[in-house]
Amino acid sequence: MTKTIFRNTFLVGVLVLGICSFLFFGLQYTQTIEETFEVLSQETSIAIAGLETNGIDFLKKLDDTNRVTWIDHEGNVLYDSEHDNLTSNQASYSEVEEALESGEGQATRKSDISGEQAMYYARLLSDGTVLRLSRPVGVVMYALVAVSPVLWVLVLVLIISGILAFRAAKQIVTPINDLDLDNKSSNPYPELSPLLDKIEEQKLMIQEESNLREEMRREFSANVSHELKTPLTSISGFAELLAAGGVSPDKVTEFSRDIYKESQRLISLVNDIMKLSRLDEEADLPPKEDVDLHELSKRVIEDIAPVAAKDNIFMDVKGESAHIMGVNQLLYEMLYNLCDNAIKYNYPGGKVTVETLVEETTVKLTVEDTGIGIPKEHQKRVFERFYRVDRSHSKEIGGTGLGLSIVKHGAIYHDADVAIDSTPGKGTRITLTFPK
């Protein structure tokens, strides 16, 4: 932790120092360029005065570090201090063109002869000719070197920043390392009291969550054991009677049918437990794809129609095409479980309606029945594993008690919300709201 705080603090210091250095040298460079042009302007005034008084001999005798060029009004070179017989036309250069038009001009560009970046200043004389002085930009860089002591100051500041950052990191971390989380009263740093209170609160929350998970695990284990034991006991009892040979021929078919029924119930229970396990771990699930919930609803209604026909339950699909990104098989199982429950807990001759609705940002899938309904006090718990409102009635109609748990976990996987609205004796409506 000390290293992390030191590194971050030091990096902030380096970043601030770098920005300040960039601004400083940028401003210094700009100022030096402006000062250089000012010096060129003053030296040009002196050179013009000498030229007008003594003619070209003054320019030839002039001992100057600047390059001096005298140009006529057509751009021809009359004199150049560095290059004899310079024949290129100078009128096309911006500083000369500007001087011919407005009296003076300046520019920074690359020299066609030397290839170096240079500053040019030109001024129009009374006879219509132009005198131009130029100086390499490198001279400006040499001027910046003059402030090299600042660089040493920056290095010193970096070293001092590193030392201070390390000390600050240690001062921050030491009190935290010295904390006794089991004895808050021994805390020598009152400023850390809010942190200790927060840690204590988090510990209590983690403990409560751990206890709740343990309780749920035990309850789940007990429920699984009970649900598995019931069909296994029945299968074992029927098989024992058949093996003893004391069963009349007319009962053999009945016992075999019961064994098959209980084994199917056992298989369904194991399959549902495996589905929930995969959803908990989000393992072995195919990638999400575009799914039309309305078309899926039609398919589920068609597949579950034989089950509904046994109790004369009317199935209906309403709504419009509703597309979401989801796992097709998982959405099918979720909707099938909702419809299966709506049929099981319905009255003979009742109705189950599946409806899809597309809103601005969401897609809703609703399964509504005209069945026995769910009391208010049970509605929050019906999505728990193995939870049954009426165990005696549930035993008569079968089922594993995991159908709505699969719906809930499937909704979580699809970032969907589940809402239930039920009135005993009138029916139940369960709505899944998916992000569009």
User: What is residue 184's predicted lDDT score, i.e. its pLDDT?
Assistant: 59
Contact 312, 353 (CB under 8 A): no
User: What is residue 318's predicted lDDT score, i.e. its pLDDT?
Assistant: 93
DSSP states along 206-265: HHHHHHHHHHHHHHHHHHHHHHHHHHHHHHHHHHHHHHHT-S-HHHHHHHHHHHHHHHHH
Name the β-bridge partners of 324: 291
Both tokens assigned to 161: 């920043």
Angle at 178 between CA 176 and CA 182, to 5 degrees: 95
Q: Which amino acid is at 225?
A: S
**390 closest CA partner among 407, 409, 371, 408:** 371
Q: What is the rounded distance in angstroms from the CA atom of residue 98 to the CA atom of residue 147?
A: 34
User: What is residue 358's predicted lDDT score, i.e. its pLDDT?
Assistant: 93
Contact 76, 149 (CB under 8 A): no
Which distant-in-sequence residues (6+ apart) come within 8 Å of 239 by Cβ? 259
User: What is residue 224's predicted lDDT score, i.e. its pLDDT?
Assistant: 63
User: What is residue 185's predicted lDDT score, i.e. its pLDDT?
Assistant: 60
Q: What is the rounded distance in angstroms from the CA atom of residue 70 to the CA atom of residue 72?
A: 7
User: What is residue 374's predicted lDDT score, i.e. its pLDDT?
Assistant: 87
Q: What is the rounded distance in angstroms from the CA atom of residue 5 to the CA atom of residue 255?
A: 74
In order of their start, the domains of the chain are: 2-145 (3.30.450.20), 224-281 (1.10.287.130), 289-435 (3.30.565.10)
Q: What is the rounded distance in angstroms from the CA atom of residue 429 to the CA atom of residue 30?
A: 74
Q: Is 225 helix (H, G, I), strand (E, B) or coil?
A: helix
User: What is residue 141's predicted lDDT score, i.e. its pLDDT?
Assistant: 62
Q: What is the rounded distance in angstroms from the CA atom of residue 161 to the CA atom of residue 159?
A: 5
- pLDDT by position in tens, the chain (length 436): 566 666 666 676 677 767 776 776 667 777 777 888 888 888 888 888 888 888 888 888 776 678 888 888 888 888 888 887 777 788 888 898 898 899 999 998 888 777 788 889 999 998 889 999 988 877 666 555 555 566 666 667 777 777 777 777 666 666 666 666 666 565 556 666 676 677 778 878 888 877 766 676 666 666 666 566 667 777 777 777 777 776 777 777 777 877 777 777 777 667 766 766 666 666 667 788 999 999 999 999 999 999 899 889 999 999 999 999 998 888 998 999 899 889 988 999 999 999 999 998 999 999 999 999 888 888 887 877 666 665 544 455 555 567 788 888 889 888 999 999 999 989 999 999 999 8
Entry pTM? 0.48
CA 27 to chain centre: 39
Q: Which amino acid is at 227?
A: E
Contact 224, 273 (CB under 8 A): yes
User: What is residue 78's predicted lDDT score, i.e. its pLDDT?
Assistant: 87
Query: Within 10 Å of residue 144's Cβ, how many Cβ atoms?
Result: 13
Q: What is the rounded distance in angstroms from the CA atom of residue 51 to the CA atom of residue 59?
A: 7
CA 102 to chain centre: 58
Which distant-in-sequence residues (6+ apart) come within 8 Å of 191 by Cβ? none
CA 244 to chain centre: 67
DSSP states along 317-376: EEE---EEEE-HHHHHHHHHHHHHHHHHTS-TT-EEEEEEEE-SSEEEEEEEE-SS---G
Q: Is 46 helix (H, G, I), strand (E, B) or coil?
A: helix
